[in-house]
Structure 1
């Protein structure tokens, strides 16, 4: 399914790092260094772990006071960096917002333009994230890279544990889903993400914090479960580990588009008329933790 032609391969750099907590200047400096390394390794997109500007330092009592806007030096520095490197950057941050900040990713294209800003919908309301304002919708945008355009959406950490998140992104046309993360990635979460890539026929790329902050194991799947002969194939695009480093996930977007035209998953055989129970039961919830 994959081709050796570099032009056909879109490279997503998973920036698996530890942070300096609330020291945003140190996080900025480290992130810039990793982006430069990613570009040298041929990355078209660099993806940060969740809430990078504060290193997801929610254990600090006043962490939610460290929100930034897109007019901040931290954010503008990444716009300039994306343009100078000719590389898209998925930067994550605690976003200034009213009445409370949001957990956000902005995708900056290689010209320095913000093409997508998504706030985490499924905040971890059983934890200190309860202080945040949740997002209220999912987005898919066209990203122009040197390899051509790709339709990109995003989920953030806990979002990926709700199949509705992925389904909406699929229905909006996502070909690549970027997933900043800040929790343990183990076999069950890996299996769920692989299943999501399979049933929605899109590529997934997840960046987690390295050990010891989290356990690393950033992971990616290319969304193509079978080859041209119908044989099962390995969708995994990187070999995960726990240490700091950059994992390059390689995706053949053109091959994925051809695959989507010939396989039965995604939206082709859905029966939306039978799914209204999902809406009718919208107010039915389990007891919160």
Structure 2
């Protein structure tokens, strides 16, 4: 299965231009032989922040679209035209407010799943989003055959429960649209999510100057014949590019069938404390370090 990770620039707050760029990428991905194309977080708006003033916030909210709108409709048509599964990202307008969302579209143009970011960064402007409330995998038809996939978005990957919940729903491939600086610790974190769940994890991130690229795929097959194996399939640099990664699904499925990781030896009866709420207060934004979470406010390309 060939996966193409979009490490390209989008234009801040301009859905029309970003749609044009995104559809052009779909055509490029077909030429690269892609089965799956993954965009970074909020490609529709280039991760444009919500302004603090009322008029600016209202204008920002008007950028949101729906699953039945032209944004998703255009990518559905692109999926059919190029026989390509696509994870496209957008601000979704819903009855309760706006969500940071990703639509998983299969190669027939069917919307297989819409995921709303659960772990929104409440310590930043992302508090304007309504968080999602669940992690669920979906079976997606691709030119390489059906694949059980789950989606997380950016800060979700910093919570191990996100990937574990999807792995327990039989996800064999986890995709993560991202918009943050991927330091070595975060790359190690992504590698660990793949290792501990015996699942492939693919991350698409923005390039410099807004972020630092490093889009990656770890295939989760961390052992081979009883010996550790480097399961890094690709780890990009910070430049603008389309990152191509080939995932051996047959080998991954064989590994998962005999792996001691994932759900094989869990003892959930001992984990009851994980279901208890916490009473931790959120820091004021002025107290958050400048490299925390997704704290890169001027994402995207300037006009």
* TM-score scaled by length of structure 2: 0.89
Q: Which aligned pairs between 1:1-289 and structure 2 lie closer than 5 A? A: 10-58=1-49, 60=51, 61-62=56-57, 63-227=60-224, 229-279=225-275, 281-282=276-277, 284-289=278-283
Deviation at 1:71, TM superposition (A): 2.2
Please give the per-residue CA displacement for 1:234-254, whole angstroms capped at 9, x wherever unaligned.
111113111111111211111
* Residue aligned with 2:228, SS: coil
CA contact (8 A) 2:50 2:128 kept: no
Runs of 4 or more off by more than 4 Å in structure 1? Answer: none
Structure 2 segments unaligned to the other structure (5+ residues)? 284-303
2: distance between equivalents of 1:212 and 1:220? 22
Moved more, 57-66 or 213-222: 57-66
2:30 aligns to what SS in structure 1? helix
Deviations 1:132-154 (A, max 9, x none): 10001111011111221110001
Distance 1:182 1:285 in 2: 28
CA distance in structure 2 between the aligned counterparts of 1:46 and 1:33, rounded to whole angstroms: 12
**Equivalent pair of 2:50/2:126 in contact (CA under 8 Å):** no
Structure 1 CA distance for aligned equivalents of residues 174 and 3 of structure 2: 11
The number of equivalent residue pairs is 277
Q: Would the aligned equivalents of 2:15 and 2:63 in 1 still touch at CA under 8 Å?
A: no
Distance 1:203 1:119 in 2: 21
Superposed displacement of residue 59, structure 1: 5.5
TM-score w.r.t. the length of structure 1 is 0.93
Cα distance in 1 for residues equivalent to 2:247 and 2:100? 27
How many angstroms apart in 2 are the aligned matches of 1:225 and 1:88? 26
What SS class does the counterpart of residue 238 from structure 1 fall into? strand
Alpha-carbon displacement from aligned partner over 1:113-143 (angstroms, at most 9, x marks no partner) = 0001100000001111101100011110111
- Structure 1 gaps of 5+ residues are 1-9
